[in-house]
Amino acid sequence: MRSFLFVPADSERKLAKGPLSGPDGLILDLEDSVATDRKPIARQMALDYLCAAKAGPKLYVRVNALDTGLTLGDLAVVMQGKPDGIVFPKCVGQRDLDLLATYLDALEAREGIAAGATKILTIATESAAAILALTAAPAKHARLMGHSWGGEDLMADLGALAKGPAPGVYDDTFRFARTVNLMASVAAGVTAYDTVYPDIRNADGLRAEAQEARRMGYGGKIAIHPDQVAVIHEVFTPSAQEVDWAKRVIAAFESNPGSGVLTLDGKMLDKPHLVLARRLTARAG
C-alpha cells in the first residue's frame, strides 16, 4: 500500500468524497480532526460507513490515544464494522502496541472476526518518549503492518516553535524522528509511511518530500487532501525502468544460483541488489 488518506469520520461529505481520489487506504479519523463534543457522532458515522462499504480502498480507523480514555470505547463501536485496520496515534513503543493488540483479540472474538485479521498502523513518533522507546526496542507484532511518524504532536511535546524553516525542510530533531521511524519499520519487517505534508496547495513541495522519503527507503505516505493522492502514487509506484531492472537482476541470480557477485549492464551486483530488486517487484505488484 502506497497511500492512506485521512477523512474526518464526522463529515458525511468528506466520507463520500474520500474514495474518489483512489487512495490505497482510507483512514476514518476519530482523533484530531473531530471536536470533542462530536466524537460519539463520529464513532457511529464511522461504523455506518464501514457497514455500508463495498469495493474500494482498505478501511482503517484512527482511534483516540490511550491517554484520552476514549480508545476502548472507540474500538468497541467501530470493530462491529470489521475495519481492515486501526491507526494507533501516540503509540509509545512495544507496551502500547501490545495493549492495543490485546483489545483487538477480545473484540475480534466478540464480533466473530478471524483472529489477527485487524491490522495496526502506528503513529510512532509523536512524543520524545515514543522515539526513545523505538530506539531502545523497535515495536513488533503480527498485526503490525506499518509505522508512520508524526511531527505536529512531537512539536508540541518538545515545545518546538516549528518543525523547520519551511514546509518539508526539517530541523535535526524531526529528521531524527523520521529516521528512527524508518529504522524501526525495517527492523519490524513492515512498511514505513512518511508523515503528512500540510501545505495542500503545494504539489511540487509534496512531490519533493515524497521523493526524498522514497529515496530514504519509505514505502508510502499519508495524505490529508484527496489531491495529494495522485502525487503520492506517482512517486511510490516503481517505474517501468525500475521494474525491468529488478526483473533482470532476479533472473540473473536465478540463472547463477551459486554466484554471490554478478555483472549486469557493466555494473557489479551482489546480494543487496537482489534484496532491493525483490522489494521493487513486490511494490510494483
Query: What pLDDT was estimated at residue 149?
Result: 97
The 10s digit of each residue's pLDDT in 227-269 is 999 999 999 998 888 878 778 888 888 888 877 888 888 888 8
Same domain, 196 and 275: no
CATH code of the domain covering residue 45? 3.20.20.60
Same domain, 106 and 46: yes
Same domain, 128 and 146: yes
Same domain, 271 and 133: no
Q: Residue 274 pLDDT > 80, yes or no?
A: yes
Same domain, 178 and 226: yes
Query: What pLDDT was estimated at residue 182?
Result: 98
**Residue 143's pLDDT band (boundaries 50, 70, 90)?**
very high
Same domain, 231 and 267: no
Range of the structural domain that residue 99 is part of: 3-236
Q: Is the pTM of this model over 0.75?
A: yes
The 10s digit of each residue's pLDDT in 29-65 is 999 999 999 999 999 999 999 999 988 999 999 999 9
Kindly report the average pLDDT of the chain as a whole number: 94
Same domain, 165 and 280: no
Helices (H), 112-239: 128-136, 152-158, 172-188, 203-216, 227-236
Same domain, 161 and 261: no
* Alpha carbon 19 to chain centroid, angstroms: 17
Q: What is the arithmetic mean of pLDDT over 141-169?
A: 93
Q: Where are the beta strands (DSSP E) in the chain?
A: 3-8, 25-29, 58-62, 85-88, 119-123, 144-148, 191-194, 220-223, 262-264, 267-269
Same domain, 175 and 245: no
